[in-house]
Structure 1
Amino acid sequence: MTVRVLFVCLGNICRSPMAEAVFAHLVERAGLDGEIEIDSAGTSSYHIGQRAHRGTRDVLRRNGIDYEGDARQVTPRDFERFDYILAMDSDNLADLRRLMPKDSQAVVKRFLDYADGVKIHDVPDPYYTNRFDDVYALVRQGAEGLLAAIRQDKGL
């Protein structure tokens, strides 16, 4: 059984593609790339079809991670397709809960709920602050915690 994980932010050019890439890197290093499918999306349509923000691509590259995805918007089908849908912040979470069909079985949570020892709940948006390195550190912690939780929950 494949576990499907979707990371969600507002525009799908900064935080969620960073989380997608970091998590995919960790999954591959753990030898689980055939067991876990990973994607990202945005709650808005602002950047559909665009590459990830240069700051995201740069911080990923500096950390030995490639990313080539294009932005897309969350769809109702995502709630059927994905097992875990992880919001980068509380606003994204509220948007997801509004879109979520009542019969969805997906786990819909804030991404940093999986980050042990992190005292904040929302991944700050580096689009306005340019603090991509700080966001990368948070994303890395969240990705490590998420992978550990999925491995435990699914017996991987």
Structure 2
Amino acid sequence: MDKYKILFVCLGNICRSPAAQAVMERIVAERGISDKVEVDSAGISGYHRGDLPDKRMRVHAARRGLQLTHLSRPVSHSDFERFDLIIGMDDANVDDLCDMAFSLEEEAKVVQISRFFRNYKGQDCIPDPYYGGSEGFENVLDLLDDACGTIADLIQSGELYDLGK
């Protein structure tokens, strides 16, 4: 079976989505399913193309043992062909991704990350921490731990294969 390919997307690909990529990669490695899952991240905007993630996000992630080394890149149309599931961090990301899709089949691959919250069901997105303080970056990582854990559970149970395929 081919790897299940997941793309995390936020606005600039410098805070939330590279953190999501790192959290997901850590979880699949810990569970021994790295051979079944491929993870990447991208941004709606290409403004930060080639940049490392925001320094504040790298610092907070490092405190949790995560190294964010991904270089920012914008979403491309080939991502809709390559990935099985494209996860937006908020409604604006999801709307933008759906607008980029060329077909209903491609649009069906797009979901909002809040769909995977188990312990934060009242939360409707992963808020952008860029203009806030330290607590925003910690909140992002907490939410990502929750959502990515659920995604890994669904991959292991086979239920995630029904999404985006």
- What does 1:3-152 align with in structure 2 at a 5 Å threshold? 3-102=4-103, 103-104=105-106, 107-118=109-120, 119-130=122-133, 131-152=136-157
Q: How far did 1:148 drift?
A: 1.0
Task: Provide the aligned length of Structure 1 versus Structure 2.
Answer: 155
Q: How far did 1:104 drift?
A: 2.2
Structure 1 segments of 4+ aligned residues over 3 angstroms from their partners: none
Label 1:74 to 1:148 Cα distance change in 2 as closer, same or farther (>3 A). same
Structure 1: distance between partners of 2:41 and 2:129 = 17
Q: How far did 1:147 drift?
A: 1.1
Q: How far did 1:95 drift?
A: 0.1
Q: How far did 1:154 drift?
A: 5.7
Unaligned runs of 5+ in 1: none
Backbone CA RMSD of aligned residues = 1.4
With normalisation by structure 1, the TM-score equals 0.94
Structure 2: distance between partners of 1:106 and 1:50 = 30
Q: Deviations over 1:16-66 (max 9, x none)?
A: 000000000000001111111100000011111000001111111100112
With normalisation by structure 2, the TM-score equals 0.89
Percentage identity across paired residues of the two chains: 35
Which one-letter code corresponds to 1:98 in the other structure?
D
Structure 1: distance between partners of 2:160 and 2:10 = 25
Q: Deviations over 1:57-114 (max 9, x none)?
A: 1111100112211000000110110011000000000000000121427521011210
